[in-house]
Structure 1
């Protein structure tokens, strides 16, 4: 699933199409709940020796989809209250993500995974995450330009397509893989990818914003000269 908040926030700060970002990030989050266990079942199998696909999908819906639906239903009643206290809700949001990462690392330390694997695994995951993010950003940028998207739509496409959510990924992995002692290792790529995407895309958002300011200034100058 995608990160809705950061996809929308980065798209907005870069001057992109925010409504499109909201739609795409939300759709990705919902579809990811169903597609992720299906993809896992193709790798590890389903049924005996694999995952119970039906039970896993129901549990994921109860854990991730139901809160999303309830949140939207309760938004008319509590939306204004939380908007007034956005600063504190953002802090809670970040603390939850930090606790998820901390819990995953604690489980992996207890299982002795890091002593068994060594620094080579961390380095491999870091390099792989960097390459994956670079490839996705390059592909989405080239695809958006090949399809002749407007600059605002290109920004939304680039930022929404590249995002992956640790807040959804950690509980999904815990539910799918259960008490697997290698859960920390399974979560390692997304634990690296999540902060990496935020750092890289924040720099890109500033670059896009500067281009938008330059384009607007140039258009204003052309209008003044035309008059």
Structure 2
């Protein structure tokens, strides 16, 4: 329950916090983003389907559960098309030819350092608060969760037809699979802890 609550809450809060943080960097008005219109568009695209899905779950939940394989495929295809379109626009505008390899290296190193920092902080915080192992796992994995499922639509709405949209999406495109790989390794480590404890107890007896 804690994992589901935190993952859902971070996605909902991101709808409101992301455009506000972007407005602090690029500004608002004619030279920046229209904060009110952007928030409305994000709520329509991301928040409204979530609310409607929860309201319709008693009637449609079983149907989608039976066809979960196909709904997951459609979900991934939509995200893939958004990212593909963004990179095509960047390629046509010559953005990648102008930036070179340095941008790729910087984005990868920056994403890796950010992920390492978040995982270290959440792990230390969970142990300092003396959380149970199950709560520690939920805290560590949920705090590092950043998905293309929310990031790609947000970037497309906030920056629109900006020629550098592919470049804007690059960090989260690196961060997302990197997080999956690192967290899968950590999951194996967490899963082995009870086994190690049992083995130690048997050896002691």
TM-score by structure 1 length?
Answer: 0.85
Given that 2:83 and 2:166 are in contact with CA atoms closer than 8 Å, whether structure 1 keeps it comes out as: no
Instruction: State the partner residue of 2:107.
Output: 125
Matched, 1:90 2:97: no
1:102 to 62, 79, 84: 84
CA distance in structure 2 between the partners assigned to 1:104 and 1:180 by the alignment: 9
Residue number among 56, 68, 93 corresponding to 1:111 in the alignment: 93
Tell me which of the two structures has the higher relative contact order, counting C-alpha pairs closer than 8 angstroms and 6 or more residues apart: 1
| Structure 1 pair 110–152 and aligned structure 2 pair: CA distance change class (3 A) | same
CA contact (8 A) 1:104 1:183 kept: yes
Q: CA deviation at 1:98?
A: 2.2
Give the equivalent residue in structure 2 for 1:27: 9
C-alpha change, 1:76 and 1:200, in structure 2 (3 Å) is same
Query: 2:61 aligned with 1:75, yes or no?
Result: no
Unaligned runs of 5+ residues in structure 1 are 1-18
User: Which residue of structure 2 aligns with residue 47 of structure 1?
Assistant: 29
**Residue-pair matches, total:** 204
Residues 79 and 124 of structure 1, relative CA distance in 2, 3 Å threshold: same
Asked if structure 2 preserves the Cα contact closer than 8 Å seen for 1:100 and 1:167, the reply is no
Check conservation: 2:3, 2:139, Cα contact below 8 A.
Answer: yes
Structure 1 residue 117: deviation in Å? 0.6
- Is there any run of 5+ residues in structure 2 with no aligned partner, and where? none
Aligned match of 2:193: 211
TM superposition shift of 1:47: 1.7
